[in-house]
Structure 1
Amino acid sequence: MDIVDVVSESVLLKKSGRNFVGLCPFHSEKTPSFTVSSEKQIFYCFGCGAGGNAITYLMKHDGYAFPEAVRFLAGRYGVDLPKRRRTPEQERIISEKERLLDINEQAMEFFSWLLHHSRFGATGSAYLAHRGFSGTTIESFRLGFAPEGWDRLLNHFQKKGTPLQLVEKSGLILARKDRGGFYDRFRNRIIFPILSANHDVIAFGGRVLDDALPKYLNSPETPVYSKSRSLYGLHSAKIPCREQQAVYIVEGYFDLLAMVQHGFPNCVATLGTALTPEHVKILRSLIGQNGVVKLVFDSDAAGLKAAERSVSVFDKGYVDAQIIVLPDGHDPDTFLFKNGDEAFEDASGNAVDAVTFLMDSAIRDIGLSIHGKSKIISRMADVLRNVGDKVKLSLYVHMLAERLGVNEEAVLDRVRRRESAGPTVRRRGMDAETVRPPEPPGSRLERKIITMMIQFPKLIPEVIQQGVLDHFENKTLKALGSVLVHHHGDADPTDAVADAVDGAEALIAALSIETEDWNTRDGLKLIHEFLERSPRSEERVLLEEIKQAEKAQDKERLERLLEKKYKLAVQKQKQRQELLGSA
């Protein structure tokens, strides 16, 4: 197992010297500060301070608990990984999440079985065939069907003896108002299983076969499903997104299926919610620093609103976002089935950035009368105030002024007034997404000592002999050093350290990610320098005692201390000479 393979599932990595670098999936950034070391099997972000090993990465990125991450890696790579003691509360939470995922998996299999059943699934199968979806597409995305009836899935789980309170927690069934039992959430709907990036079934979406409302119904948020961090189709789009360094974002399940069926596999869909900063971070990590996001919105009022919201979200995420404009009345599903993939390629080639799209829409909808121009500037001022890049803002103001035939200063003045009149997205310098790495604990020399113990454990016996850790003032580093001493000789003490010291994974990664060429001589010099500078060093204690003897005018004690100081100085000089002559 290589951590580079694990991280590459969700981050586009490029070789840089001995390590790999990419855009951090845990915070928004313009240039890569996220580093992965294959040699040391760790990751570390110099921008936000996130760090650790492969297990830590899965826990932080995918929300896994420790045992879930272990089992995922063991299943993926066929390796045995260490076990860790857990509290009863941790056991309960982990057990519940695993059981919910298992319930979702069983439900997906049941819905799929119903779709393919000659009697129960005939209506659903005919509907999908009428929409033009192939058997391959249906199987690839594990589509299913929930026929009419209030208790088909309920009875399925009752026969299996599955606790219905747990099935209710998955969102698949609902309690009746009088609490006299349960009923199925999804009825007479095509079922779309929603999978995580790691192929766990986390939720479901359902679409009616007629004009009934609501047209779409989605699972509620659960302990295993968060809409703001989930995207439909992400599990199948990861590799194509990395390979093409581009991603299409559509709004509906059928839009995505049509895109994939027509040869655009690097596509994801939102799940009944607006794009969030979390979505943007996930996608930008996949497509890389120079990647492109292409949004396919309808040209109706809802599409315009979505485009307007996307300006600030993508601007904050440092993402190059473009909008593909389809003819009125078309979404990707209908357009692709009517016009084919080449026509969509042409439309994609004519994609424009979100601000230009909104500018075009405003001019088309409002017109260029004097009143219309004023109204366009007001509408666009609400958009432009959310552009954090000053160069881009200047270019957009110039473009709008030129197209309307007005002075740039007039446009800029309206933007400034909008900024002062109401809430707006904060500029990057004050942005909530802007993060700084945590302040490193302890002194520079204390961190250097721990780094040496990690990278050059040959000198740990010397650290023990000279009582170096007794002079540490930072409790976290002292505890980390103590565990390293205790586990000296172990092939990999990382897990023992992680168990003993909170937050140790990121700290070890920070101290280990940059390799130093250690040798015995430099290590001994470091120990010597640290002990000499320590507030608790023998020399400093002695000087304090001499001051006290002088103040008390205790001549006899003063003579003894001065003699001791002389002998200590001779000893130190001898140590320096030995260090200079040592290999």
Structure 2
Amino acid sequence: MNNGMIPQETIDEVLRRYDIAETVGRYVQLSRNGKYLKGLCPFHSERTPSFTVTPEKQIFHCYGCGKGGNVVKFIMEIENETFPEAIKSMCEEAGIPISWQAPDGEQSERQKERSVMTEAHAYAAKFYHAVLRNTAAGTGAMNYLRDRGMTDKLIEEFGLGYAPARWDTLAQALDKKGFDLADMDRGGLLSRRHEGEGFVDRFRDRVMFPIHDGDGKIIAFAGRLMSDGQPKYLNSPESPLFSKSRTLYRFHAAKGAIRKSRQVVLLEGYMDVIKAWSAGVHNGVATMGTALTGEHASLLKRYADEAIVCYDGDDAGMAAASKSIPLLENAGFRVRVGVLPGKMDPDEYITAYGSEAYMREIVEGAVSALKFQLIYLRKSHILLEEDGKLRYLEDAIKLVARRESATERELTLKELAQEFGASTDSLKQDVFKIRQQEKLGTAGDIPGGSWNNEWNDNRSSAKLPKVSVDYVKAEQYLLSWMLQDRETADIVRERLDDRFHVEDHAAIAAYLYAYYAQGHQPDIGRFIATLQDDRLERATSAIALIEVPFGERELADCMRTVERQVTKKDDLQSLYEEMNRAERTGDPLRAAQILTEIIALERRQKES
């Protein structure tokens, strides 16, 4: 990361103004646990809090996913911003004067690439919109949108456009504007020709929907065919700007209403969001043609406590809604589901019955998650037959048993008993057996169930090494003490310098020596701001939370442990050099003897 021309005094002022507990508390519900604050991690799904904030040290760390750092790092992660972007937004909010401007040469290659791609997407959106509104080529698309109930106001507000049917209309326009077409290919606006050189438009003969990031910048597009061809919707590919698993359509416009109401309405399609918006649902968002992900849920949980799922009423929509319920509940949401009749989608329902009916019957009248699951369950059972009723009840009882609320279980069992002529007491007994067998209510943090597979597959490697090797622990203890005391750092530097066995530990020590050499006093939050490396920031925040008794004896013991490991490495290196000399001088017998010593020494080191 490059800070550009941001003065250190400005960074220090930001760290002084922003208390980490107060800042994190805007996004995460924290509760006190001794001198720590704990809550559910906003960066991955979990049931039991593993996210820790330490006001004393002004740092955060999650023992589940490994993310950690100071208050600036938290804003970077939560808002998906670079370091300069986070500092700038925090300065603007706090009224700190912004007296710097990073020249182009100070931008990282990543920032330059993103800047160019963002500019190109903004231009492409204006281009598509102009084609729709002002050209004969866009007449058919305009008629299609009006047939779908899109008013001129909605077309303007949502920036809808049209990609002409020609192969290279946008490519030529981008070329004339001076954009590198290879960059436009990486950004998802163009595609490289299958044969020969050159590029063609990725989107052709489609109604275009701009997709924005959380700050309102256009980062991608969705294009819809007006005919019955396939694919009906074509999305921009993954790019440096766009990630489907992290992006929600219209989130930038809806997040204010979501945060105010603490409620989000989840829809399936772009048209659904627009029509729902016109009906008064200003807290509605949709995924990018993919299933809801854990990252989507974590993003929304920062702003809302309740999720209302309003997917299509057909079989596919109901199945998608059913799959989303456990993901949302495990992220901490109260979940309700808007049930659409007759396999309608929200767009069709609003067109047929009007905005007021949609708000009253579907959004406000959404049923509980359990009620919806029981409705959906009926589709797979023939309730006209006695055997079908029994099988339905068996499956329904399993769903009820997994609900945490005893009141919800009680009321639902009474309804089932009344409908099917069963005894409430017998249904309660069945539920009790299931809860006993599955040990429900005792789930720990980050269980191995399927709800968390996405996080498990993508978890960070920046956590502390999960090893019991003495020298690794010793290095962690040394760094923990060095972060809190300058004199200890001086002692370690004089005796060990950079001879830490773990590479990240050596790097942290080197940064810490330089930090103290500049005259700074111990301040973990400020030190983390100097690291400029995501992995080291996470490792430092984890090490800073280690608490072990400190004294001269403990310090000496840890340094001796590290030195012994260094000696072992030196001995091993000497043996390898001696073996290589024996091989070069034509003494294979001696080389083989040394190799035996090397193998034995390495085995002893692994066992120690």
Same fold (TM > 0.5) = yes
Q: How far does residue 238 in structure 1 lie from its aligned partner after superposition?
A: 1.7
User: Which residue in the other structure is 1:353 paired with?
Assistant: 368
Give the letter for the 2:73 counterpart. Answer: T
Alignment of 1:305 onto 2:305: no
Q: How far does residue 274 in structure 1 lie from its aligned partner after superposition?
A: 1.1
Q: How far does residue 226 in structure 1 lie from its aligned partner after superposition?
A: 2.0
Alignment of 1:356-375 (within 5 A): 356-363=371-378, 366-374=382-390
- Pick the aligned partner of 2:519 from 481, 488, 496: 488
Any idea what the Cα deviations from partners look like across 1:482-515, whole Å, max 9, x if unmatched?
Answer: 233223238985367414x77343355557799x
User: Which residue in the other structure is 1:498 paired with?
Assistant: 531
Does structure 2 conserve the Cα–Cα contact (< 8 Å) formed by 1:50 and 1:506?
A: yes
User: Which residue in the other structure is 1:273 paired with?
Assistant: 290
- Pick the aligned partner of 1:293 from 307, 315, 318: 307
Alignment of 1:160 onto 2:177: yes
More off after superposition, 28-37 vs 293-302: 28-37
TM-score where L is the length of structure 2: 0.67
User: Which residue in the other structure is 2:596 paired with?
Assistant: none
What SS does the corresponding residue of 1:286 show, helix, strand or coil?
coil
Does structure 1 conserve the Cα–Cα contact (< 8 Å) formed by 2:478 and 2:558?
A: no
Does structure 2 conserve the Cα–Cα contact (< 8 Å) formed by 1:311 and 1:386?
A: no
- Pick the aligned partner of 1:202 from 197, 201, 219: 219
Does structure 2 conserve the Cα–Cα contact (< 8 Å) formed by 1:451 and 1:511?
A: no
What SS does the corresponding residue of 2:166 show, helix, strand or coil?
coil
Q: How far does residue 232 in structure 1 lie from its aligned partner after superposition?
A: 0.6
Any idea what the Cα deviations from partners look like across 1:214-264, whole Å, max 9, x if unmatched?
Answer: 332222222322222211111112222111111000001111112222222
Alignment of 1:452 onto 2:468: no
Any idea what the Cα deviations from partners look like across 1:62-121, whole Å, max 9, x if unmatched?
Answer: 65555666677789887367989x99xx95555444433332222112112223315444
* Compared CA separation, residues 259 and 340, structure 1 to 2 (3 A): same
Distance 2:21 2:150 in 1: 33
- Pick the aligned partner of 1:234 from 232, 251, 255: 251
Does structure 2 conserve the Cα–Cα contact (< 8 Å) formed by 1:359 and 1:400?
A: no
Distance 2:202 2:194 in 1: 14
Does structure 2 conserve the Cα–Cα contact (< 8 Å) formed by 1:24 and 1:32?
A: yes
Q: How far does residue 157 in structure 1 lie from its aligned partner after superposition?
A: 1.6
TM-score where L is the length of structure 1: 0.70
Distance 1:41 1:135 in 2: 50
User: Which residue in the other structure is 1:534 paired with?
Assistant: 555
Does structure 1 conserve the Cα–Cα contact (< 8 Å) formed by 2:279 and 2:359?
A: no
- Pick the aligned partner of 1:172 from 189, 192, 202: 189
Does structure 2 conserve the Cα–Cα contact (< 8 Å) formed by 1:12 and 1:286?
A: yes
Distance 1:467 1:223 in 2: 42
Alignment of 1:429 onto 2:447: yes
User: Which residue in the other structure is 1:328 paired with?
Assistant: 342
What SS does the corresponding residue of 2:131 show, helix, strand or coil?
helix
* Compared CA separation, residues 493 and 316, structure 1 to 2 (3 A): closer
Does structure 1 conserve the Cα–Cα contact (< 8 Å) formed by 2:30 and 2:39?
A: no
Q: How far does residue 399 in structure 1 lie from its aligned partner after superposition?
A: 6.6
Any idea what the Cα deviations from partners look like across 1:286-343, whole Å, max 9, x if unmatched?
Answer: 21xxx11000022211122112312332243232221101222432223234434432
Distance 1:259 1:211 in 2: 24
Alignment of 1:112 onto 2:129: yes
Does structure 1 conserve the Cα–Cα contact (< 8 Å) formed by 2:338 and 2:365?
A: yes
Does structure 1 conserve the Cα–Cα contact (< 8 Å) formed by 2:69 and 2:537?
A: yes
User: Which residue in the other structure is 1:79 paired with?
Assistant: 98
Any idea what the Cα deviations from partners look like across 1:430-461, whole Å, max 9, x if unmatched?
Answer: 244588994598569646634534xxxxxx3x
Query: Where does structure 1 lack aligned partners over 5 or more consecutive residues?
Result: 420-424, 454-459, 517-525, 541-583
Distance 2:473 2:101 in 1: 30
Does structure 1 conserve the Cα–Cα contact (< 8 Å) formed by 2:158 and 2:209?
A: yes
What SS does the corresponding residue of 1:133 show, helix, strand or coil?
coil
Distance 2:155 2:511 in 1: 52
* Compared CA separation, residues 534 and 13, structure 1 to 2 (3 A): closer
* Compared CA separation, residues 534 and 79, structure 1 to 2 (3 A): same
Larger radius of gyration: 1
Give the letter for the 2:283 counterpart. Answer: N
Alignment of 1:511-522 (within 5 A): none
User: Which residue in the other structure is 2:468 paired with?
Assistant: none
* Compared CA separation, residues 465 and 306, structure 1 to 2 (3 A): closer
Does structure 2 conserve the Cα–Cα contact (< 8 Å) formed by 1:315 and 1:388?
A: no
Distance 2:114 2:360 in 1: 45
Query: Identity over the aligned pairs, expressed in percent?
Result: 29
More off after superposition, 237-246 vs 72-81: 72-81
Q: How far does residue 146 in structure 1 lie from its aligned partner after superposition?
A: 1.8
Distance 1:31 1:464 in 2: 36
Does structure 2 conserve the Cα–Cα contact (< 8 Å) formed by 1:316 and 1:428?
A: no
More off after superposition, 53-62 vs 425-434: 425-434
More off after superposition, 295-304 vs 47-56: 47-56
Q: Cα RMSD (Å) of the superposition?
A: 5.0
Does structure 1 conserve the Cα–Cα contact (< 8 Å) formed by 2:211 and 2:220?
A: yes
Distance 1:237 1:533 in 2: 55
Query: Where does structure 2 lack aligned partners over 5 or more consecutive residues?
Result: 1-13, 466-471, 562-608
Any idea what the Cα deviations from partners look like across 1:367-413, whole Å, max 9, x if unmatched?
Answer: 342132255357769x8499586979976994796354566499779
